Amino acid sequence: MFNNSNPMREKATMRIHRRSLKPIALAVGLVATLTFQSGQSVSAQDNPKLVPLNYNHPGLEVDLGVGLWAYPLPMDYDGDGDLDLLVGCPDKPSNGTYYFENTTQDPSVKMPVFEAPVRLGRAFHNMLASEVNGEARVLIPGKYFAQDPSTGKFDFDKPTGISAPGKPLTTPGARIRGNMWRYVDYDGDGDHDLVAGVGDWADLGWDHAYDETGTWQNGPLHGYLFLMMNLGNDSAPNYKKPEMISAGDSVIDVYGWPCASFVDFDGDRDLDIVVGNFLDYFTYFENVGSREMPRYQSGKELQNVDGERLTMHLQMITPTAIDWDRDGDADLIVGDEDGRVALIENTGELRDGQPVFQNPVYFRQKADTLKFGALATPYVSDWDQDGDDDIVCGNTAGNIGWFENLGQGADGLPKWAEPVLLNVRNADGTEEPFRILAGENGSIQGPCEAKWGYTTLSLADWDGDGDDDIVYNSILAEVGVLLNESGTLVEHELKSAPVENPPAWYPWKSATNGSLTQWRTTPVAIDFDGDETLDLVLMDQEGYLTLRRSAGEAERLFVDESGQPIRLAAGTAGRSGRVKLAVGDWDSDGRLDVLINSENVTWYRNVADQDGKVVLKRIGNLARRNVAGHTASPAVCDFNRDGKLDLIVGSENGRIYHIFHDDCISFSEAELAADVQFQRASPAKPVDPEVDRDDAITFDSTRGRIAAWIEPGTDATKSDVVRYRYHDGTKWSGPITVLWEQSKPGKVDCSKLRFDDSSEDDRIELKFEAHVDGASETVSKISYDRGRSFRDAQ
């Protein structure tokens, strides 16, 4: 997926060294930075010390990127004749719309190196660019932002409302994710209509809907296009009610996240459609009607020059069609989930009536701060044995990258090289960048996450041969080892680990040596007990923090001051795992502490040994700045070599934040002191959520407890309603109404509500009797996702 000139494609050349087991060097983490956006809004009174790591490398070029999610808005923002990029980024730590200036002033340059970004203002999900009568507009659902005619700037705090329904999809029970609007003169009458691409997640549900064979039992994602025809004109628009656009014999329905562009791709003077989706590919709908009366053929997947499916590196793609290179055809400028933006060049060739494109090439910018995709998970190690500490890092794409430390930079912190993807050796001896992918059934949250990997890792000399190896976890919830053989990674079975079952919500996965923990959580390789052999500190399958001595049986060694085992993740299915942790002697008292993700990093201080347990006291956050989106990922470092552990923290925006030890929050002696209140440690307590309704029936699934009840009509004319809620290990959901079609109209009385799990395929059936005007029928709804949703049998 990477352009061949990009060093991220190249194999890393590494010198091998022996890694010390000293506590100061042992940690796991993730890092993310934000000062790459020079306009990043941070309150001056906060004076944050936790700041993004600068590259400190003048002249370095890296992949252009914002944070998590990218909505590219190509336009000549500064009016100098070439196309610049504005990119909307709605994530939490780096929310903003950023301006990447193209300084070439030559529109024929396909791949300019952009200036580092400047933040222009807020950003929102679903930001797309359109042009109306020569004026650039940025749309969000039901609103638009226009350039000020006198300054050429956007004010992203002051949108103009559009008199059209903000939510075109009104189906009962719809779950909208993706609502992307564009202006388009759909019927060639000279005024601009509106098209909204709306994604619906109701059929997919969310998670835990695989059967024992790994087949997804809920439905797919849906992605529809709605036309709101303008019956007025651009000065006084009058939009019709939204209507679905059809192609062939049915409505257009792509796999969620429908981001559409209307352009004449085949040169016949009418508007065709290219639509992105929640995964990584594009669907082409040819207009076989006319400019004034469009009629679309059924969709076909776009192909590259080699006749293969045209795909992006990641997913949640956001294409915009524009003649980027000014050669007379429409190219695609596409945002990726990790905040990067690519050019997909139109070759001008047609095959079987559809345009052919080059593979994506990611834009480049002048380097500012370290970024590795999204949800970066760094670890500090002298990877190349040159005497300084580098950073090895995972991300959502499932890759592992290496930032080489090139020596001291201008700010007293290192000068960094661009990240290089680490290669793994295949069984046939070939090498390629290491990558974990969920595929169609690797993610507990369903096949919609096929292109994610979520690598998180630590480093240690696992095989004792003197170099650092990588111990990793991922979206698959399987701990693995990558041995370092002369700089190339080789997959290695975790032979010392016992064969164990994965968490209960993976019914299709068998017991393995790697099924030791939950998904997306860090395995820390470290000699925790001081016996000169490496152990693993990580969560077990139920979310408790454990020690596996020499990667053996799990011990719930870590308890709080009351003697309760420390549980970091009580959630089930999609709410499980995700916890990132690091281990190091933070306060230099000779005892290894544990650092856990929070708004930044929470310190669990190792305060005592009692009853064969290690007592950890939750002290609090070590920094004041909130850099968390999904989860932050901590690691320890000592770049200034003052003997004190400092922190790096990865965030969802893929950047790496740094703070010196002495700039962290300090705590009083009283706050640090242990208050151990137990004689003997207590066993773990099972989750036993209380149901707050006496009339509810309950059922316990591998997701958690489900409660259902009949809610009587509020008066003699109102029908009874069946509602339910589920517990996910951490909290109850809100009440959810069971939807069903009455066979005859009238007031409904319900009775005999019951659960039935007698089937052999782990589905749950919810039944009740519905009485209407003297007639009765049995209503049956099936849950394939263990109580999250109930639907008709598939």
DSSP tally for the chain: helices H, then strands E: 1, 60
- Backbone CA torsion sign across 146, 276, 203, 742: positive
Tell me what pLDDT residue 129 has: 98
pLDDT band, very low/low/confident/very high, at 38 (cuts 50, 70, 90): very low
Domains and CATH numbers, the chain: 61-366 (2.120.10), 377-672 (2.115.10), 697-783 (no CATH)
Residues recorded for the chain: 794
3-state SS, residue 619 = strand
Averaged pLDDT, 618-627: 97
Residue keyed to tokens 């060694």: 557
The pLDDT value given to residue 740: 93
| Residues whose CB is less than 8 angstroms from the CB of residue 60 and which lie 6 or more positions away in sequence, other chains included | 366, 367, 417, 418
Q: Is the pLDDT of residue 152 over 60?
A: yes
For 411-438, write each residue's pLDDT tens digit.
889 999 999 999 999 999 999 999 999 9
User: In the Cβ-directed half-sphere of 17, how many Cα atoms lie within 13 Å?
Assistant: 15
The tokens for 692 are 């707050």
Digit-coded pLDDT (tens) for 537-583 = 999 999 999 999 999 999 999 999 999 999 999 999 999 999 999 99
The predicted pLDDT at position 16 comes to 25
Instruction: Give Cα 784 distance to the centre of its chain.
Output: 24
Task: Find the radius of gyration of the CA atoms of the chain.
Answer: 28
> Which structure tokens are listed for 389?
């500490």
pLDDT for 486: 82
In the predicted model, what is the mean pLDDT of residues 23-49? 39
The single-letter DSSP state of residue 731 is -
- Alpha carbons 638 and 650: distance in angstroms, whole number: 16
The alpha carbon dihedral of 395, 400, 401, 407 has a sign of positive
- Pairing status of strand 354-357 against strand 346-351: antiparallel
Question: What is the reported pTM?
Answer: 0.92
Residue 556, SS3 per DSSP: coil
Tell which wins on pLDDT, 757 or 66: 66
Contact 627, 638 (CB under 8 A): no
DSSP annotation of 309: B
Alpha carbon distance 89, 69 (integer Å) = 6
Nearest to 197 by CA among 118, 255, 114: 255
Mean pLDDT over 742-751 rounds to 93
Q: Is 34 a residue whose pLDDT tops 50?
A: no
Q: Indicate whether 230 pLDDT > 90.
A: yes
User: Rounded distance, CA 575 to CA 572, Å?
Assistant: 5
Distance CA 708, CA 764 (A): 12
Strands (E), 185-239: 193-200, 222-228
pLDDT tens, position by position, 44-93: 345 689 999 999 999 999 999 999 999 999 999 999 999 999 999 999 89
Predicted pLDDT of residue 45: 40
pLDDT, averaged across the chain: 93
pLDDT grade, residue 758 (50/70/90)? confident
Q: Name which residue leads in pLDDT, 260 or 9.
A: 260
For residue 472, give the nearest of 409, 536, 567, 417 by alpha carbon: 536
Count of CB atoms situated within 10 Å of the CB of 736: 17
Q: What are phi and psi of 23, to 5 degrees?
A: -55, -35
Adjacent-strand bridge partners of 471: 458, 481
Query: In angstroms, rounded to a whole number, what is the distance separating the alpha carbons of residues 302 and 610?
Result: 63
Question: 18-27, 601-610, 613-622: which range is least confident on average?
Answer: 18-27
Distance of CA 405 to the CA centre of its chain: 28
